[in-house]
Structure 1
Amino acid sequence: MKKHWKFWLGVAISLVFLFFALKGLGLNDIWEPLKTAQYWWLLPGVAVYFIAVWVRAWRWHYLLRPVKPISTKTMFPIVAIGYMGNNIYPARAGEVLRAVILKRRENVPVSASLATIIVERVFDGVVMLAFVFLNLPKLAGMTSSSGFVGNIQNLALWGAGAFLGALAVFLAAAMFPARAEKIVVWIVERVVPSKYHDKVSEITTRFLGGLESLRSPQEALMIFFTSVVIWLLETVKYWFVMHAFPFEVSFFTLMLMNGIVNLATTIPSAPGYVGTFDAPGIAVLTANGVAKGLAAGYTLVLHVALWVPITALGAFYPRRSEIDTLADKIAAQWDEDEETLELILAALREERDLRGQ
């Protein structure tokens, strides 16, 4: 129990969000819209979502070109496996899972691929914030009475500072790699135990190599543009699923919902973003005049439609022995002290052993 405290903390946070999401609703309030929904609208929604995943795979291929050119066709299954890992394991373990699988299949250093994955997430966060700030007038309705936990305006401002700050750091590190490496070495020597110095320095060098694609403004703009396309396609899925239910809001409202929901899912929660996805989604819709029971039914179906297809696809692709071994390793190490460092070091040790064979 003590060892898995992070998992149980996530479950507790999910329960709090679910409490606010479902407060004042009876089972019949949600069941009625579920009974009458036109579920065939999910089919084009799922199709568009898989196109968005393919664009994600292209973006990852684009980011990794300076490290190693790998086709989008090769990247797509690994991206799907990563989604599956994020959906069924806590703490977004799927991101580490896809980095390790890419190492095994394409011999790309784990630290370099993790750098590109972090860059992806930073650009995703910036786009999500753009979606939110495009709809600033609508934020006035996002109060606790609509079911949202906390102050969305403050969350958006703090999120803007965090993501834009991270983006500035990565761009600076990409443009001035030698100086960035010196700064990191200075920090490592003062913070990290001496026995890890050499290994952390090796990780740092490869990590900075993964930022190479940001050295050109044109490259950075291409990554940003691709990120916008990805999230607009995902919003199109929200739009298709909306047509399965008897309500209609503007596409901009769905962009706001998409932005807030995905920012909220950065909060630790139970696997699958239970609660942290649902509460803000319901809140956005109720603040825009949708009955709470109907909003809850729509958000539930949308959540399932986002979770099940990509999780099933991710489970279909890998060799079972490979995925089981890696997933068990990541799940076992995730709760240990110094979990991220130890996981990366283990992957690097494995890389060293493979070289020696």
Structure 2
Amino acid sequence: MRLNYKQWIQVAISLGVAIWIFWFLYKDISLESLQRALRETSFSWIGLSILVSLLGYWIRAWRWKLLISAGDQIQVSTWRTFVALMIGYLANLLVPRAGEVARCGVLSKTQEEPMGKLLGTVILERTIDLLFMLIVIALAFLMESRLFLSLISDLLSWENLSARISNYLPLLIGGLIITGIFFYFVFHKYRERSFFRKVRHFLRDMTKGLISVQKVRNQWGFWMSSVALWIIYYLMMLFVAWAIPSTASLSLSAVLLVMVMGSIGMVAPVQGGIGTFHALVAFILMAFGLNEEEGKIFAVIIHSSQVLTIVVAGLIMLGFFFKIDAKKASKSY
């Protein structure tokens, strides 16, 4: 996938903001504190979290296969979609949102499927993910409504608000820049219309995508896999929480809220959620009584374990892609 100069500027800005936020968050965390936390961490639980995440990637690949095959007699293997998916996640670490196009390009080349159709299935998949994310946010709010209301009350307090702004001004500026980039990406295709029409057409496209899911033949499998993905996300977070002494005593509902904040952080248009994930996870952990250092160390451990998983799995799948592509090229001669 080739980027024009404007897209390279967007990538550079998002990476710069991500590094800036990450540096601001961790500039006061000593290497000794991180090493001490790692010595106290149970890597058995971390390993189990990684295994569960790989299962989640496989389920996502299988669900994508269902969407690709919807309404057609197309035979796509879950292995091929898994290879493409992991390469897409790897691409996301380099260029925000490039993974969606990259995985479609990989599968189009190995499976000879139209690129436009594959992109349509990814948009539909992301629409379903957004729907479930809103449901999970609502569930977290119901389970931790007292904490939510307390946080809102603190934020609306002028004294607390002014103190937070003065202490976290660089973080606030970075967040505003990322928010601007996010809305630019979301509404870029509707740039010729007014703002309210952009919102209306965005919601219309989302509704059309939800309606088209009825073409999937295995309805039960599709919706159950969508539920299973969020259960797996939760288990990944829970196992890491159990691995670290400072978070091992968190309640199940607290872990759910941490997962929600982390998911929101990953939505931001920065490479791999760097900075935004850490900021939101650390913030909500502090609300549950952890100190600032403990919250930030938890965030960096879980994020690093998943980034390492994506890098290793993505590079392995990239090797398989080159092998498949070479075998396909040899047959064409």
TM-score where L is the length of structure 1: 0.67
Q: Do the aligned residues in 2 keep the contact of 1:174 with 1:215 (CA within 8 Å)?
A: no
* Partner SS for 1:268: coil
For residues 166 and 62 of structure 1, do their structure 2 counterparts lie closer, same or farther at Cα, with a shift above 3 Å needed? farther
- Counterpart of 1:258 in structure 2 is 259
Q: Do the aligned residues in 2 keep the contact of 1:126 with 1:164 (CA within 8 Å)?
A: no
Q: What per-residue deviation string (whole Å, max 9, x for no partner) do you get for residues 247-303 of structure 1? A: 22122222222222222222222x332101111111111111122211211111100
- Alignment map for 1:32-51 (pairs within 5 Å): 32-51=36-55
- Counterpart of 1:95 in structure 2 is 100
- Counterpart of 1:7 in structure 2 is 11
Q: For the residues of structure 2 that align with 1:135 and 1:38, how far apart are their CA atoms?
A: 27
For residues 173 and 291 of structure 1, do their structure 2 counterparts lie closer, same or farther at Cα, with a shift above 3 Å needed? closer
Gaps of 5+ in 1: 176-211, 326-356
Q: What per-residue deviation string (whole Å, max 9, x for no partner) do you get for residues 140-162 of structure 1? A: 437575978579xx9xxx99xx9
In the alignment of these two chains, the number of paired residues is: 281
Name which of 53, 71, 74 aligns with 2:77: 71
- Counterpart of 1:235 in structure 2 is 234
* Partner SS for 2:276: coil
- Alignment map for 1:271-282 (pairs within 5 Å): 271-282=271-282
* Partner SS for 2:254: helix
Q: For the residues of structure 1 that align with 2:306 and 2:199, how far apart are their CA atoms?
A: 24
TM-score where L is the length of structure 2: 0.72
For residues 165 and 230 of structure 1, do their structure 2 counterparts lie closer, same or farther at Cα, with a shift above 3 Å needed? farther
Q: Do the aligned residues in 2 keep the contact of 1:125 with 1:263 (CA within 8 Å)?
A: no
The structure with the largest helix share of the pair is 2
* Partner SS for 1:272: helix
Q: For the residues of structure 2 that align with 1:288 and 1:126, how far apart are their CA atoms?
A: 27
Identity of aligned residues (%): 22
- Counterpart of 1:343 in structure 2 is none
**What amino acid does structure 2 have at the position aligned with 1:297?**
I
- Counterpart of 1:307 in structure 2 is 307
Q: For the residues of structure 2 that align with 1:168 and 1:292, how far apart are their CA atoms?
A: 42
Q: What is the CA distance between 1:114 and its match in structure 2?
A: 0.8
Q: What per-residue deviation string (whole Å, max 9, x for no partner) do you get for residues 285-332 of structure 1? A: 111112221121111110011111122111112348959x9xxxxxxx
1:172 aligns to 2:171 (yes or no): no
For residues 164 and 130 of structure 1, do their structure 2 counterparts lie closer, same or farther at Cα, with a shift above 3 Å needed? farther
Q: For the residues of structure 2 that align with 1:164 and 1:80, how far apart are their CA atoms?
A: 33
1:141 aligns to 2:166 (yes or no): no
Name which of 127, 136, 140 aligns with 2:132: 127
- Alignment map for 1:275-354 (pairs within 5 Å): 275-319=275-319, 322=322
C-alpha RMSD of matched pairs (Å): 3.7
Q: Do the aligned residues in 1 keep the contact of 2:90 with 2:310 (CA within 8 Å)?
A: yes
Q: For the residues of structure 1 that align with 2:304 and 2:276, how far apart are their CA atoms?
A: 14
Q: For the residues of structure 2 that align with 1:228 and 1:164, how far apart are their CA atoms?
A: 28
Q: For the residues of structure 2 that align with 1:13 and 1:163, how far apart are their CA atoms?
A: 26
Q: For the residues of structure 2 that align with 1:314 and 1:81, how far apart are their CA atoms?
A: 5
**What amino acid does structure 2 have at the position aligned with 1:79?**
L
Q: What is the CA distance between 1:80 and its match in structure 2?
A: 1.5
Q: For the residues of structure 2 that align with 1:44 and 1:282, how far apart are their CA atoms?
A: 22
Q: For the residues of structure 2 that align with 1:231 and 1:109, how far apart are their CA atoms?
A: 29
Q: What is the CA distance between 1:233 and its match in structure 2?
A: 0.4
Q: For the residues of structure 1 that align with 2:126 and 2:254, how far apart are their CA atoms?
A: 23
